Amino acid sequence: MTGTLPTELGLMQHFVFIGLGNNQITGSIPSEIGLLSKLSGLSIGGNLITGTLASELFMMPSLQKLIVGSNSLRGVRGNLLTGSLPSHVGRMSMLTHLELDDNFFTGKLPTELSQVTQLKQLFLQHNSFHGTVPIRELQNLTALEQLRLEGNDFSGRISAEIAHMSDLVVLDLSSLPFLTGTLPSELALLTSLRHLNISGSSGLSGTLPEEICVLQNASSCKYGTYGTKRCFLGFDCSDQLCGCDCRCTAANESIRLLL
């Protein structure tokens, strides 16, 4: 499908879902879509859409899914969207999925994002967001199951408040070269965690906390260069790094170190 999104979409008051992902749609997102008070899902990722996210998009009271990112299974990038995430995002009390990945967004994340407490999936990867890595700022999002921040310009330390996101299954902090400090031992409190990736975040230092080895659910944890220590593909549960007995087997890997 080609062409642009018509402003007349704002007249379709009966619409509850718009799914136009993975096409060749160009132009901008018409602000008139914000008039659709019954819309629960807007999925327009994997197109060639440009411009910014109009504040009207964040005033739809029923919206649960806003997807303008990529389709990673098909290797499709998100869109060509620019600008920052509007502070109006804090009004989206029903939002569970916010996927902005693989665009050209910039700026700091608005503090109002912490008010969207129903969020389960937050995909911000591969943009140019900056500021302190927003773990402390997002600690109120206790329903989060997937948090992907990789490939941005976030800086600073991974704070202990990560433990408040107790439902996390996926945490990706890879390719964040401005991260500093060590991994907090509080990661061990994330008992649902199955995927942890910090590869390519070369500013981290120290050794892996022994507490991380209790993450028995972690089946695809990936660690890249960590401080001055280096491992190689398939090097499992190294006591050289974490100093613990992880008891990995081919069928039940507790932690996999993957470069």
Strands of the sheet with 106-107, listed across from one edge: 106-107, 128-132, 153-156, 178-179
Structural contact between residues 215 and 188, judged by C-beta atoms closer than 8 angstroms: yes
Token pair for 242: 């974490």
- The whole-number pLDDT of residue 215 equals 58
Picking from 198, 212, 201, 226, the residue whose alpha carbon sits closest to that of residue 254 is 212
- Total length of the chain: 259
* pLDDT per residue as tens, the chain (259 positions): 999 999 999 999 999 999 999 999 999 999 999 999 999 999 999 999 999 999 999 999 999 999 999 854 445 567 999 999 999 999 999 999 999 999 999 999 999 999 999 999 999 999 999 999 999 999 999 999 999 999 999 999 999 999 999 999 889 988 899 999 888 889 889 888 888 888 788 788 766 666 765 554 454 555 544 333 322 222 234 343 444 444 433 322 333 333 2
Picking from 33, 53, 176, the residue whose alpha carbon sits closest to that of residue 103 is 53
Structural contact between residues 244 and 210, judged by C-beta atoms closer than 8 angstroms: yes
Q: Which domains are seen in the chain, by residue range? A: 2-257 (3.80.10.10)
Which residues have a Cβ under 8 Å from the Cβ of 18 and sit 6 or more positions away? 9, 33, 39, 41, 42, 43, 44
Structural contact between residues 209 and 198, judged by C-beta atoms closer than 8 angstroms: no
Picking from 195, 199, 188, the residue whose alpha carbon sits closest to that of residue 253 is 195
- The whole-number pLDDT of residue 242 equals 45
Question: Residue 222, SS3?
Answer: strand
Measure the CA–CA gap between 189 and 89, rounded to whole angstroms.
Answer: 29
